[in-house]
Structure 1
């Protein structure tokens, strides 16, 4: 079993800041004017099922994000040396996560 997930058009409102008379002022752009890169991943699973008279057992093996795509989870802003605002996308888990499980029913 495999599953492919894709999320597009994740909107984000960007902000700019500048030094005003009373301190640092934040200005925001148009609502949903900035788009993050698409989020997509491939998950797969292999299950082995064995049935006996009084019990069932199942072994499952698989992986999340099978092809190691670096999906962005959030954006943060920072200042460049030239005082411009730079935006950076952060990926929390940029690798595949394997898993296994064992189920026993009686």
Structure 2
């Protein structure tokens, strides 16, 4: 019975170690700045499945967007430029489609409550 328990524990430890290399949705690139990987619905996701990534200023205490941010397509082309204040869109957001055309979006609700 003891040998069986030891074998099970060894197998469990191997699976725990296998999870160490998972890709986080975001990482700090400075004290108040993050890189966040997003899917096409702007939800955080791992880098290997991401459609966009966001470079954003955040409040380190609550991780809410606070300041200028840019979204990029995964091939490094700009997707969005905007500013958030306390997690809410401040002013206009400039949205760039993947074909390079741009559209001004004034306080579009899609950006009204974005957080990390």
* Higher share of residues assigned strand: 1
Whichever of the two has the greater Rg, that structure is 1
Normalised by the length of structure 2, the TM-score is 0.26
Q: Which structure's relative contact order is higher, taking Cα pairs within 8 Å and 6+ residues apart? A: 1
* Higher share of residues assigned helix: 2
